[in-house]
């Protein structure tokens, strides 16, 4: 069928398999162009189908010839209805990995559940024996805790006071003021339950209990900090409490891995256009100004550039892993450069509906957003029929 983007609010209901395939191929080419990384050889990626997790899977496979198992939660296609983007990304990834002679298998289901953990442990046991790197890259609005059966929903709210600032509707380019009500009762607790470190620790405990972590194994989860501008709604808001918890969990996991000489890290990554970040008020305006400045300075990166640099210059550089005073890896270093943040802050006060297309990178924002769904990708013929029924090889 001919597949076109169909928008509803901030989400796109369709995805293009050819565009997704081209995106994955571009990421693979980028990793190959940067040369080999002396990294882990058996890798589990939890949240492997889009964003930073997909980039991690690609960097492990095509930078270090790693065998990868990817866990994700995506919608397969049905006749006449496209799959979710991560499904097509994973189909393309497996096809390319298999062509290159690399082991790649996937598990599609709820990573928070005991069942998906069980299935993953069994697959590792059967095919890989052990893993030496576990990337934890889930982004979800909801989690059912398998021990209590309670379903928690995360919220993106400030804590204490109403937060008022500018935001942009990136579809129309309209800049307006938005006020966000502060969190209530158990909003913080619920957000921490979804996006904090509890499930990460459960995964690592389960792997370790069955001797599936190799000696010296590393695990990495991703976090964000950002500028003071977005602090009330991000780092000092409900999601920030979850990130505090995730970061604290890295230390308790490292303690639990002492006997196998394992280590847990949190890597603080750059702000990027993803399905999740598009839904946070204020952030899209910040990102469109940030992109403009970072492109001008020649230091703009997407997910693949971020993760390739994380692997090559931090995790597997051959020297000790550099961290900040709180033990975190910082790959947001270019975003947070003083000169870049000063310029963004100046533009922020000026930004209006009339001038944003000029002083900000609204076009770049939109392009990245459409690219997430496989649209607006160079080299793809969108006027031709595309087969929506593309399958992930290992899930056939
Ligand atoms: P994403 O939405 O692109 O990826 C989320 C992944 O999680 C997908 O593979 C999805 O299938 C999977 N997933 C979601 N719920 C699942 C479930 N129940 N079971 C199994 N898989 C599930 O998100 P992203 O932006 O790559 O975020 C990954 C991490 O990086 C998050 O911790 C996020 O906070 C962090 N991060 C994001 C940014 C940013 O600007 N986007 C910046 C820094 C850090
Ligand atoms: Na991800």
With beta carbons less than 8 A apart as the criterion, state whether 16 and 88 touch.
Answer: yes
pLDDT of residue 276: 81
pLDDT of residue 11: 85
| Through-space distance between the first and last CA atoms of the chain, rounded to whole angstroms | 21
Give the span between the Cα atoms of 209 and 228, in whole angstroms.
41
Our mutation pick for probing the ligand 1 site, out of 11, 20, 46, 47, counting the most ligand atoms within 8 A of Cβ, is 47
Among 235, 247, 155, 266, which Cα is nearest to 196's? Answer: 247
pLDDT of residue 296: 98
Contacts of 317 (CB under 8 A, 6+ apart): none
pLDDT of residue 9: 80
Give the span between the Cα atoms of 338 and 40, in whole angstroms.
34
Sign (positive or negative) of CA dihedral 107, 112, 117, 118 = negative
Our mutation pick for probing the ligand 1 site, out of 10, 114, 138, 304, counting the most ligand atoms within 8 A of Cβ, is 138
Sign (positive or negative) of CA dihedral 297, 303, 306, 308 = negative
Percent of the chain with pLDDT over 90: 96
- Cα–Cα distance list, 49 to 69, 87, 99, 160, 240 (Å): 11, 7, 19, 35, 24
Per-residue pLDDT of the chain (396 residues; tens, 9 = 90+): 999 999 988 789 999 999 999 999 999 999 999 999 999 999 999 999 999 999 999 999 999 999 999 999 999 999 999 999 999 999 999 999 999 999 999 999 999 999 999 999 999 999 999 999 999 999 999 999 999 999 999 999 999 999 999 999 998 999 999 999 999 989 999 999 999 999 999 999 999 999 999 999 999 999 999 999 999 999 999 999 999 999 999 999 999 999 999 999 999 999 999 888 888 889 999 999 999 999 999 999 999 999 999 999 999 999 999 999 999 999 999 999 999 999 999 999 999 999 999 999 999 999 999 999 999 999 999 999 999 999 999 999
pTM of the model: 0.98
pLDDT of residue 279: 83
Q: Is 224 in the pocket of ligand 1 (CB under 6 A)?
A: yes
> Which active-site residues does the annotation give?
234
pLDDT of residue 240: 97
Cα of 272 to ligand 1 centre, how many Å? 11
Cα of 139 to ligand 2 centre, how many Å? 7
Cα of 2 to ligand 2 centre, how many Å? 28
Cα of 104 to ligand 2 centre, how many Å? 17
138 is in an annotated binding site: yes
pLDDT of residue 275: 83
Nearest ligand to residue 53 Cα: 2
Q: Is 276 in the pocket of ligand 1 (CB under 6 A)?
A: yes
Hey, whose CA ends up nearest to atom 16 of ligand 1? 73
């Amino acid at each position: 069928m001919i597949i076109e983007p169909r928008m509803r609010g901030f989400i796109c209901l369709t995805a293009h398999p050819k565009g997704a395939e081209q995106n994955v191929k571009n990421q693979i080419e980028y990793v190959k162009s940067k040369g080999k990384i002396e990294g882990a050889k058996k890798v589990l990626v939890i949240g492997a189908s889009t964003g930073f997790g997909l980039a991690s899977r690609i960097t492990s496979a095509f930078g270090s010839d790693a065998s990868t198992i990817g866990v994700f939660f995506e919608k397969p296609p049905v006749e006449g209805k496209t799959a979710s983007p991560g499904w097509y990304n994973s189909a393309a990834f497996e096809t390319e990995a298999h062509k290159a002679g690399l082991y790649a298998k996937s598990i599609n289901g709820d990573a928070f559940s005991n069942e998906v953990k069980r299935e993953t442990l069994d697959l590792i046991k059967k095919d890989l024996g052990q893993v030496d790197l576990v990337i934890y890259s889930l982004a979800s609005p909801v989690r059912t805790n398998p021990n209590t059966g309670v379903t928690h929903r995360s919220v993106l709210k400030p804590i204490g006071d109403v937060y008022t600032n500018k935001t942009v509707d990136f579809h129309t380019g309209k800049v307006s003021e938005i006020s966000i009500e502060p969190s209530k009762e158990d909003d913080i607790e619920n957000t921490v339950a979804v996006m904090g470190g509890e499930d990460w620790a459960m995964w690592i405990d389960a792997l370790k209990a069955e001797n599936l972590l190799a000696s010296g194994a590393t695990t990495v989860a991703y976090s964000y900090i950002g500028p003071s501008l977005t602090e009330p709604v991000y780092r000092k808001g409900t999601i920030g409490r979850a990130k505090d918890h995730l970061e604290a969990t890295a230390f308790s996991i490292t303690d639990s891995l002492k006997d196998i000489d394992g280590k847990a890290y949190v890597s603080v990554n750059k702000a990027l256009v993803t399905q999740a970040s598009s839904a946070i008020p204020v952030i899209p305006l910040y990102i469109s100004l940030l992109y403009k400045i970072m492109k001008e300075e020649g230091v703009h990166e997407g997910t693949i550039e971020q993760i390739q640099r994380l692997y090559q210059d931090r995790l597997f550089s051959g020297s000790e892993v550099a961290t900040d005073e709180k033990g975190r890896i910082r790959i947001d270093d270019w975003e947070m450069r003083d000169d870049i943040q000063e310029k963004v802050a100046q533009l922020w006060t000026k930004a209006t509906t009339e001038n944003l297309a000029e002083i900000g990178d609204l076009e770049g924002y939109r392009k990245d957003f459409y690219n997430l769904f496989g649209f607006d990708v160079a080299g793809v013929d969108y006027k031709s029929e595309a087969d929506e029924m593309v399958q992930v090889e290992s899930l056939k």
